[in-house]
């Protein structure tokens, strides 16, 4: 099912007040989104940016002050949440405590007067996808299951109901790292198998990338950018998006463009033609990721001097990181193997650098995803 939000705004009532104050910042601020049938969109963003409100509004648990929500061609403003055919899993497990796992899965079929055989076949199909040990969980009273086990049953319970839309809000945040990884693998398999349109809220960037066909990054009630991970990582619309993604910090260098050259601190680099043609003379900020630096000996000239204050080895990724400062800016670089000492000479890899406005945060030039193949 396709989901479309058009210009949706939502303000909450401040506690104790009867009317929504007009100066109250909206929890959702003119949101427009279009999610394709069968697509999974991960929703990420800082705490309080409106992720849960967005999900609750799509579910019908909150109403919009203005704007519309369509499920396929239907405006669902007047459709109650229980009549929307959605499955929801939130971080607190909401299983029926008096039943065993299997009863939780079967309940829906009982209520909707569907046959026992149908219920059993569907539960078996899902248990096969959920993998080793899942059938054992179904035989247990839900109150005796661990948090992780309960959440796996809750996810399966949603899927047996054949939802046309699946809404998940931090469904596996309370699980330990190992279980999180296997559960998200199961969830991804289920979603792929049944082709259910899904919105998935998470704080975990890796999880967002793993689960989502696209990622929607929110800030202060707005969707700042939506796209594939590559689009957000290599073509961020602004500095907020660029700094949000990536497991290591982006260096942000205040620089000046003049005469087809960019100057930063003591360093001056001639710009490649494509950049020199594009950038207006004046101040800019250059965003450089740790993996996007080139190294040179001091004698080769033209580089920026990095005063290294810490070398960090990351054995799992077989790389060395150097942390330090370049003309006052904090910089982390993926350094050549065997780097030692306290000075490195650096030049940004211009094909991978992003340029931002100096007086705003919008991007002036982004590298775009490299072609690996």
**Which residue lies nearer to ligand ATP by CB, 43 or 267?**
43
What residues line the site for ligand ATP (CB under 6 A)?
12, 27, 45, 47-53
The answer to whether the CB of 49 falls within 8 A of the CB of 42 is: no
Phi, psi of 197 (to 5 degrees): -65, 130
Least Å from the CB of residue 287 to ligand ATP: 25
Least Å from the CB of residue 238 to ligand ATP: 19
**Which residue lies nearer to ligand ATP by CB, 206 or 313?**
206
**Which residue lies nearer to ligand ATP by CB, 28 or 130?**
28
Least Å from the CB of residue 55 to ligand ATP: 8
Rounded Cα distance between 199 and 344, Å, is 44
Helices 116-130 and 147-160: crossing angle in degrees, nearest 10, is 130
Least Å from the CB of residue 46 to ligand ATP: 7
The answer to whether the CB of 193 falls within 8 A of the CB of 112 is: no
**Which residue lies nearer to ligand ATP by CB, 167 or 255?**
167
Rounded Cα distance between 303 and 290, Å, is 16
Least Å from the CB of residue 32 to ligand ATP: 17
- Give the SS3 label for residue 170: coil
- Other beta carbons less than 10 A from residue 204's beta carbon: 16
**Which residue lies nearer to ligand ATP by CB, 47 or 82?**
47
Rounded Cα distance between 106 and 34, Å, is 33
Q: Which two tokens stand for residue 43?
A: 């929703």
The answer to whether the CB of 212 falls within 8 A of the CB of 41 is: yes
Give CA separation, 172 vs 91, 118, 179, 187, in Å.
7, 28, 9, 10
Least Å from the CB of residue 203 to ligand ATP: 6
**Which residue lies nearer to ligand ATP by CB, 12 or 295?**
12
């Amino acid at each position: 099912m396709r989901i479309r939000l058009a210009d949706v705004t939502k303000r909450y009532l401040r506690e104790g007040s009867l009317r929504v104050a007009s100066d109250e910042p909206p929890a959702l601020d003119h949101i427009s989104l279009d999610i394709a049938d069968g697509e999974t969109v991960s929703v990420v963003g800082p705490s309080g940016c409106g992720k849960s409100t967005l999900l609750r509004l799509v579910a019908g648990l909150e109403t919009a002050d203005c704007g519309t929500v369509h499920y396929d061609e239907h405006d669902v403003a007047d459709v109650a949440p229980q009549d929307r055919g959605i499955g929801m899993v939130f971080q607190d497990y909401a299983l029926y405590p008096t039943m065993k796992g299997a009863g939780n899965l079967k309940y829906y079929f009982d209520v909707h007067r569907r046959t026992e055989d149908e219920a059993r076949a569907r539960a078996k199909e899902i248990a096969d996808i959920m993998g080793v040990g899942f059938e054992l969980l179904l035989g247990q009273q839900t109150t005796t299951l661990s948090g992780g086990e309960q959440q796996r049953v809750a996810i399966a319970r949603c899927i047996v109901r054949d939802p046309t839309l699946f809404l998940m809000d931090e469904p596996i945040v309370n699980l330990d790292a190992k279980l999180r990884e296997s559960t998200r693998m199961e969830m991804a398999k289920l979603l792929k198998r049944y082709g259910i349109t899904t919105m998935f809220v998470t704080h975990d960037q890796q999880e967002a990338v793993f689960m989502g066909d696209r990622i929607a990054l929110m800030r202060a009630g707005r969707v700042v950018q939506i796209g594939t991970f590559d689009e957000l990582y290599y073509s961020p619309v602004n500095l907020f998006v660029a700094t949000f993604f990536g497991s290591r910090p982006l260096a942000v260098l205040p620089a000046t463009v003049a005469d087809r050259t960019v100057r930063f601190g003591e360093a001056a680099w001639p710009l490649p033609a494509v950049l020199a043609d594009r950038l207006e003379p004046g101040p800019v900020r250059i965003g450089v990721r740790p993996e996007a630096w080139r190294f040179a000996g001091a004698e080769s000239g033209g580089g920026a001097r990095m005063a290294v204050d810490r070398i960090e080895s990351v054995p799992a990724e077989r790389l060395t990181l150097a942390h330090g400062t370049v003309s006052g800016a904090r910089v982390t670089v993926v350094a050549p193997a065997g780097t030692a000492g306290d000075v490195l000479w650096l030049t940004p890899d211009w094909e991978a650098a992003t340029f931002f406005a100096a007086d705003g945060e919008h991007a002036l030039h982004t590298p775009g995803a490299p072609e690996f193949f």
